[in-house]
Structures are given as C-alpha cells and as structure tokens.
Structure 1
C-alpha cells in the first residue's frame, strides 16, 4: 500500500485544521466517564454524515462505525476514548473547559479528533481498502470497570482481526513514537483497608488502641513487599494515595482507612501482591491489638502488545518519521483498558509524543494545566492510517498468493 501513503498523508494535512477545531470544541465541553451524552452523539452524527454504518449506545455509551472497502479482506479496528476527568481546568487558553470541575486532562479530546480526521480521509480512499476498518469511540476509559469491556461484550470486536490504538503522550517529545512488543502498560488495581482500634484520650494511650499508629506502621510495611519480598528483576508498585483517621488533636482515633493502588505486569506477581497486602495488614494490626477489613479491586489488566503487530506498527512509524524518531521504550506503570481489546485480538498500542517545551506543553497527564502539541494528532492519524492499510494489504496479498 505504499502507493497510497502520500495520498493518506496529504489528506491528513488537509483535514488537520478541522481536527484542531474538533479537539478544541471537545476540550471546551468535556463529559465524565459513564456520563458521555453529547460527545458520542456528535461523533455519531459526523460519522453518519460520512456514509458509514454507525451503531450507537454500544456497551452503554460507545459508538462503532464501519467503513467497508471496495474489495474483500480482513478487518482492522481503531480505538479512541471519549471521557474526561473530574479536574478543574486551570489553563488560560481560549479553548479551556467551560464545564466547572471537568477537564480533558489526558488527551482523549485529541484521540477523538485524530480518529474523526482519519475517518474522513479514509472514506475518500475506499479503493485502497481491501477489507474493512472499524472505528471504536469508547466511553469511560478513566474509571473502572471501563468502557472497553462493556463494548466488547456488546459485540464491538465481532469480525475484527486486529486492533490498533495510540495515546498522545506528553512525557515524549512531539515527533516521536514510543512502543514495544509485550508488556507496555501495567495492570492497575486498587485496595482499601479499614483499621479498627479503640478510641481514647490522647494523654492515656495505654487505655486505647491507636488506629492511626497502626496505619502508619502499615504504610511502611507495605513498601517492604516490593523492596524486600519481590524478585528485583520483576516490576511492581504499591502506593498508598489516601490515609484518613481521627477527628481532633487530643483523641486517639478508633478508625483509620487507607486506599492505594498496585501496578504490575506479571499475572502471578499481581496475584501474589494481592494476597500479601492482606497478610501484612492483618499482621500489622494484630501487633498493636487492632483488626482490619481489606478489600482489593481488580482493575485493568496489563497492555500486552502482540509481537507481529507491534513490529508492523514500528516499521510503519519508521517509514513515517525515520529510525531515530521511533523509540523502544520501557514499560509504563500507568493503566489502560485498551488491554481488554488485546486480550481478545492481536494488536498494538503505542505512545505518540505530544510534549513540547518551547510551546509550554510540559505538564503531566491528569494535571490542571495539561495540554499537548496538536501537531501530534497528525502523526497519530498517519500512523493509524498507514498501519491499517499495511495490515489489510498484507492480508490481501497472503490470501491471493498461490498455494504450493
């Protein structure tokens, strides 16, 4: 499909101003996970206008559109997420969020604009498509259980042979693509521990059981699981993000609660940490005479790229950007429910650099001043488009090859 690459690239360049406009409109009117209404409606309206077969309400609030090529072949799925985060937008730009306390602080607005632009270009290139391309606009990536699993259960991947996705990523500079075969992003779990002691006077600690003191020891002891009980060659993270207990300065707290997250890549290690947290919590509380209730929330599984499809996407990226701009990166401890698609179908997920210090795009994801270099959307659209055509072309050639 090399002969179609210039046409694809020229189409993306031509539609890019509209991609910027769409992205900024999405940014001004964000919607939280599982509350997407106007966003999917607008996406579906545009895709219908392109003449695609569109299904709305997939898995609850998702949108699936199908573009049939002029020749038979395999099916590629491309995914963009639609939800925003409960963060107050602190930017001063003209397109800052107009919804108080809600913001696109992770690039999902750019993901939607990227896929809409690509859909418009590919619709005008049907003769280049040997098979079909399915566009998945997914709700609720940010909140467990996530929209991916719901859409899969509602048939979003029926007939699909492979699936690709990208994440605009400000830790990487604009113009760079980062990916790897195998584990790219971590399983993202959570835990909640309630410690029950015995309240009492702050000056008479011997008559009480201090839940805050027990919690303090527990925070330290949990870190020992990773630092002293795991194989140093295996990756794991236990982070306590919230600790809450007590009511005033001179009362020993009877209750204290902790919440945190666990990040792993290995399924056996994931299971081990889940069990070990409960054991450490119980033993720590027992040491001071307290007791605890422990709940573990299984979040998204790790994002595991298929070797063949990761290599295909890497080759496409090199042809697009040059060898030096395609980085083999280390795994990232962030989570992504794109993992569910990769559990069902071979495919690849990559990070498209969207940071730019000269333009001031330096803030991390989920930050109140998060923004990204919109030029990255062109790279993302070309990468997804070229990868899709390369896969479909390879499938067509394989099917048409004479048998020996």
Structure 2
C-alpha cells in the first residue's frame, strides 16, 4: 500500500501546470486530494459479542481483511472473550447468566466502548449480533453506525418469558430505529423486523451472505482420509455449532426415518461441529441405534471436501437468517433441504414454488424427542425429492452467479462510503 502515500503528489502533478491557475482546476484538485486523504485515513471500529466459530464472526474477520487491503484502518472490539488475542480489544472476561452481574457488565462494556471511541476516533461503527448492536446504537459518536442482523429475532426470543419478550421487543425497536444503516442478511429478517418489531424499514438494507466459490472449489477436491467413505451409501451432511438453535437432533431423527422407510438408500450421516450439546447428540445417536450410520466429528480445516462428496445437505436451524454454510453448499452444487427461516427465498430469486420444494415449516420445538412426527416425515420426504430432482441446485443457479463475498463486501463498503 506504499504507493498510496504518493497519490496526493501524483494528483497535483497530473493536472497540467498551465491550468493550475484556473479556479476550476484548483477546486477539482482539492476535491480529489480530500477524497483520497479521507478514504486512506477512514477508521472502522468493529464491535461483536464474541469470536468463536459462528457465521457472523467469519464475516467480520473476512471483511476486516478486505478493508485493510483497501487502505482502511480497523480495530475489533469483542464484548466477551475466552481466549486472548492481541489483535482484538476485549470488554469482559466472560459472559454470565446472572441477571445482576450481567447488568453490571453492560454498564462496564458501555463505558469501555466510550473510552475506545474517544481514543480511536472511528469514522464508522460496524456491529454484529444483538448485544453489540444495542450497545452501538446508544454510543455517543459522530461515526456512521452500521448494525447487522443475522437471525429472525421473533423466533430467537420466542422462549423468553412473555414479560422479558415484550421488554426485549421494545429495546430492539428503539435501538434499531436510531441507527442510519441496518443490514439484514435476508428479506425474511427485514420482514420480521418490520412486522414483528414495527420498524419502518427505510434504514434496512438486505445484503445476503456470500462466499469465495473459486477457493472452496479447489479445496473441495482434496481427498478424504479421516474415515473410510462408503461408496454404496448416500451421505447427508450438516455443519454447525452444536447448540439449541441449530437443532442437529432433527438431522439424526431424519436419518432414522430414511433408514426405516428407504433402506435401499443405505443413508449415512455426517454432523460436523462443536458446542455445548455435543454429549447430548452422542447419547441421542446411541438411543436411536445409529452409531455406525452417523459420524459426529469436530470442525475440520477443510469442510468443503466433505460437502462436495455428500449427496445432500440438511439445515434444520430454528432462526438463522442466512447461514454462510448454505452459500458454500450452493457454490459446490450440492442439493439441500432446510427450515424456512434458515433458507432465504432470496436464493431462489423469489420463486416461491422452488423455495417451498427445498424448505419445511418448523412445527416441533421440543429438544431431543424420539417421536417420528409429521415434521420429520416432511423433512425426510423432501430429502428424497431433492435427491432425485436436484431442484434446489437449479433453483439457486441464478443467485449463485453473483455468489461472491467480494461483491458482498463491496456492497457493505458502498453503504459506509455513501
């Protein structure tokens, strides 16, 4: 980026000397210099709840690299940390479930962020996830505020006590009305914010999550050596954090249904990830006698080779709005079935019939139940249909033509520049 230091000088020299006395040329020269200096020195402060293995964290870190490569200055503030990283600035050591301690933490985070802002003097505040978004909306600063919403909030907070739900609803409506730019990662999230939280919507911009198709296509060609692949089986795969909202027990239950009703498929499963429900998933798999049929494995450095070789991807998440892993699945041309909240209709260019063929309604919110209910049957039958028609691949082909994270980040940057 050394060449950028000489841009102001070059701009002056490129304007002919015999025109330098012209007021017009002088004014033009000043404008060019100001634009270059402003862009070169623009500071972005990222704020996020935590940095683990989630999609929002991945987007932040990749966008951070993008901005640095384009001459911006960045700082990352993480509300809660488990592992120290000198690249980030942290607020609190760890999150807590104690309501009194949590309240004290919020005040501590607020004042620490104010100190960071006073010292760093950012031009842009760019926040990810709800705690960070709410804090960012109340911070006194002249910086442009951009908040990003990655989940369908009315479903995410469904399990709250009714009084807490109403309080949270009012807090979100108040805070999100205060920010000039709110990025929703799908139209479903935008509609949810407008209908359930009464937001006007004029500050909500939809930018879907994208990936790097060239990079993951190369990585997907690497051979699998972690276990012996059964070439006589059909593989169903799921990748994600082992937590309530990802609902991976529905993946196990669906495989049980398929093995019972379609034994000729010899269906096997791969569930990749890590998290607090890991031991529960192992027990649930054993209870359904699927230890030899389903591989539960930790996150892999190269998950793409497993996706590419699988026959179908299943995404039963409760309230994810636009998971990055789905854009990766689409880039690799693998058919998929997912819950309606987790699969944006944007991917199907608003073709509702194609979208319906690849999605299902969540009707069972019970954790780790053993009943093969109507929801499980619907998921299983849609898996069978996708295996034969591949309609989720053809239905997302048009969107996949623009499935490039550089375009996603270009859209982000245009918003903060405009």
TM-score where L is the length of structure 2: 0.24
Kindly indicate which of the two structures has a greater share of residues assigned to strand: 1
Q: TM-score, normalised by structure 1?
A: 0.24
Higher helix share: 2
